[in-house]
Amino acid sequence: MTFARRRWLGATALGSLLAACKRGAPVADEGPRLLGATVRAYGERSTFETAKRSLDEDRFLEASQTRTPLGESVGVLTPSSLHYERHHSGVPQIDPAQHRLLIHGMVDRPTIFTLEDLRRLPSLSRIHFLECSGNSGVEWGAKPAPTAQMSHGLASCSEWTGVPLALLLAEAGVQQGAKWLMAEGADACKMARSLPIAKAMDDILVAWGQNGEALRPEQGYPLRLFVPGWEGNVSVKWLRRILVAEEPVMARDETAKYTDLMADGTARMFTFAMEAKSLITYPSGGQQVKPGFCEITGLAWSGAGTIRRVEVSTDGGKSWMDAALQQPVLSKAFTRFRAPWKWDGAACELQSRCTDESGYVQPAKESLVAVRGERSVYHYNGIKAWKIGADGSVSHV
């Protein structure tokens, strides 16, 4: 594809921005004349860069979460250093040479794998988002969070590398009648979740790689389950054990937590898939906009597969325009969308709305509440709005 064919070259109005650029004279400052810094064995970011994960100071930092600064994100990948994290008893330090994975229960051949065993097996890598079921849960309430990071930052996207769980299960020999498995972590709380075996046969990985190197400690080093498109807590970290069973084990983490309380007092259980969601990351809460040309950009993703369409509104949902989707659009991965815009300086409201390959359209909050009631914590995926003031400030609606 050549740039000349891209629609924005013909269609957008850059004039008002570019008119503001300086014209004419060459750069007076010729820059440094002295040698710069030396080469380094393991690089670090510039000291001018300050993007950070959020720390919730009111929680124990050993049973807490951090959020990706999505408002500062570019592209679709999340740097591993800024990937969101959530854990219930801190990040264990595990020597990979000592770590083992046991597969047992309803199998013909219970097996213990070392990391070295697993790394010799057929592996694959895939770019996928990971999202906490509680991401954007604050939006259920009356006072949404002020920034993209605080509202939607429990979602990130990486390249994950590992061995298909299906391969390990085939080797262990799953017995007739087995329909579920339980995955258990090696952290102090032994975080555990039940999963249907059918999902393992589809696309679950036992992963050791993230973004070209080993998993980061807070992402389960040296080994985690990775369950594409499903709520993050089932991608059990520091994975030590998989039990094959007839039914879910009803672990503490799937009964006391991670269920969706409905208006009538019953709870939805095992609501694994993360439904289609989108978020404008620029302009977003806490940022500042200037009149003139400004590209609206954001991220969309769906646990059901690929994003097919993203629409953007600059008038609070009265009218919508299609955003361009950055290629390649990958299944169960962040998809970057972009829409050209010229801000006239008047107060307005931005929204985005995505449609996934199943045809599912991201709902308005009212539609969600009509079905789910107002007692939910998890699985909020309503349309997110940002308000732009006449002073160019961006805030939540």
349 class by beta-carbon count within 10 Å (0-12 exposed, 13-18 middle, 19+ buried)? middle
Which amino acid is located at 174 in the chain? V
We find the least distance from the C-beta atom of residue 336 to its own copies, in angstroms, to be 6
78 Cα distance to chain centroid:
8
Write down the least CB distance from residue 238 to its own copies, Å: 8
Least distance in Å: CB of 254 to its own copies?
20
CA 382 distance to own-chain centroid: 16
Locus of tokens 């952290």: 187
Length of the chain: 397
What is 195-221 written as a DSSP string? EEHHHHHHT-EEEEEETTEEPPGGGTT
Core vs surface per residue 45-84: b (16+ CB within 10 A) or e: eeeeeeeebbeeeeeeeeebbbbbbbbbbeebbbebebbb
Nearer to its own copies, 37 or 142 (CB): 37
Helix (H, G, I), strand (E, B) or coil at 371: helix
Which is closer to its own copies, CB of 82 or CB of 150?
A: 82
CB of 229 to its own copies, least distance (A): 14
CB nearer to its own copies: give 79 or 141.
79
CB of 48 to its own copies, least distance (A): 6
Minimum Å gap between C-beta 373 and its own copies is: 31
What sign for the dihedral angle of Cα 161, 219, 333, 260? positive
In the complex with its own copies, the residue whose CB is nearer, 55 or 371, is 55
For residue 246, the Cα-to-chain-centroid distance in whole angstroms is: 31
User: Residue 108 CB, nearest distance to its own copies (Å)?
Assistant: 10
CB of 90 to its own copies, least distance (A): 3
Instruction: Give the CA angle between residues 115, 224, 207 to the nearest 5°.
Output: 65
Residue 135 backbone phi and psi in degrees, to 5: -60, 135
Q: Which is closer to its own copies, CB of 47 or CB of 176?
A: 47
CB of 372 to its own copies, least distance (A): 29
Please report how close the Cβ of residue 324 comes to its own copies at its closest, in angstroms: 9
With a CB cutoff of 8 Å and minimum separation 6, the contacts of 196 are 179, 180
CB closer to its own copies out of 176 and 264: 176
Nearest CA among 367, 126, 150, 142 for reference residue 279:
150
Contact at 8 Å (CB) between 69 and 153? yes
Residue 257 gets which letter from DSSP?
A: S
- Output 127 or 385, the one with its CB closest to its own copies: 127
Cα of 86 vs its chain's centroid, Å: 12
Choice between 133 and 281, CB closer to its own copies: 281
Nearer to its own copies, 186 or 385 (CB): 186
Q: In a 3-state reduction of DSSP, which class is residue 369?
A: helix
**Residue 39 C-beta: closest distance to its own copies, Å:** 5
Residue 111 or residue 393: which is nearer to its own copies going by CB?
Answer: 111
Of 153, 156, 128, whose CA–CA distance to 139 is shortest?
153
- Strand 239-245 to strand 100-105: parallel, antiparallel, or no bridges (unpaired)? parallel
Distance CA 231, CA 221 (A): 19
Q: Which is nearer to its own copies, 128 or 384 (CB)?
A: 128
